[in-house]
Amino acid sequence: MLLHVPGVLDDASLSRIRKTLEGAAWTDGRETVGPQGAGVKRNLQLPDGSPVRHELGQLVTAALAASPLYFAAALPLRALPPRFNCYQGGGTYGLHVDGAVMTPAAPPGQVAATMRTDISCTLFLSEPDEYDGGQLVIHDTYGTHEVKLPAGDLILYPSSSLHMVEPVTRGARLAAFFWIQSLIRDDAQRRMLFEMDTAIQSLTASGADAAALLQLTGVYHNLLRRWAET
């Protein structure tokens, strides 16, 4: 499922993130991928151990927790802390598929646990007119999609999708990105639950029959109970 989640960041949060990134110490983005990815990746990223990445990542995580649409679509079980990147001066990331399993850093004295990547997310931090190029191009069973969203908006899509970032030929494209292991591994099942949840909310707002809504809500939760992996 490919879904646009608008307004994840409010103006104040977005301004704070952008101002902080202006003075950030960036590193070569190829340091965070394997040999295959390094061959097609040319961008800048905040180092994984950067205090700035940690600070801004917490801000993004808090904003995501306040987004009902994000939660309904992703049904997150766990997520990697957000990373931040910058594309400029022809920076690009060629066609690739994200790694299926990743290992987030563990607190001192604890063993790191791997997680499966079901959903990839990009949170745009630059306005579309601030840079040329930089479209996120996603290939899925429904065709090819070019994504270039307003600052503060999020796109989520299956991590199994072949995708790329077009070269940025003017300005700078700033974004946060991260991966989710969903309670629902299967994308088609996740889509059905999302559509059912959306329908329940719409019917509730329209004042539909309470007994029918209760029955439909029960079906939603019983499907979630049947399909969820914890």
Does 187 belong to an annotated binding site?
no
Q: Which pLDDT value is given to residue 107?
A: 66
Contact predicate 125/153, CB 8 Å: no
Residues 177, 16, 47, 5, Cα dihedral to 10°: 0
Does 98 belong to an annotated binding site?
yes
| Rounded Cα–Cα distance for residues 50 and 117 (Å) | 23
The CATH number of 3-182, from 3.40.50.2300, 2.60.120.620, 3.40.50.300, 2.160.10.10, is 2.60.120.620
Q: What is the pLDDT along the chain (230 residues), one digit of tens a residue?
A: 999 999 999 999 999 999 999 989 999 988 777 777 678 999 999 998 899 999 999 999 999 999 999 999 999 999 999 999 999 999 999 999 999 999 877 667 777 789 999 999 999 999 999 999 999 999 998 899 999 999 999 999 999 999 999 999 999 999 999 999 999 999 999 999 999 999 999 999 999 999 999 999 999 999 999 999 98
Does 118 belong to an annotated binding site?
no
Does 96 belong to an annotated binding site?
yes
Contact predicate 3/11, CB 8 Å: no
Q: Looking at residue 14, what DSSP letter applies?
A: H
**The CATH fold of domain 187-227:** DNA Excision Repair, Uvrb; Chain A (4.10.860)
Contacts of 194 (CB under 8 A, 6+ apart): 1, 3, 72, 73
Q: Which pLDDT value is given to residue 106?
A: 65
Query: CA 19 → CA 6, 57, 118, 165, 168, distances in Å?
Result: 21, 14, 31, 24, 21
Residue ranges per structural domain of the chain: 3-182, 187-227
Displacement of CA 110 from its chain's centroid (Å): 26
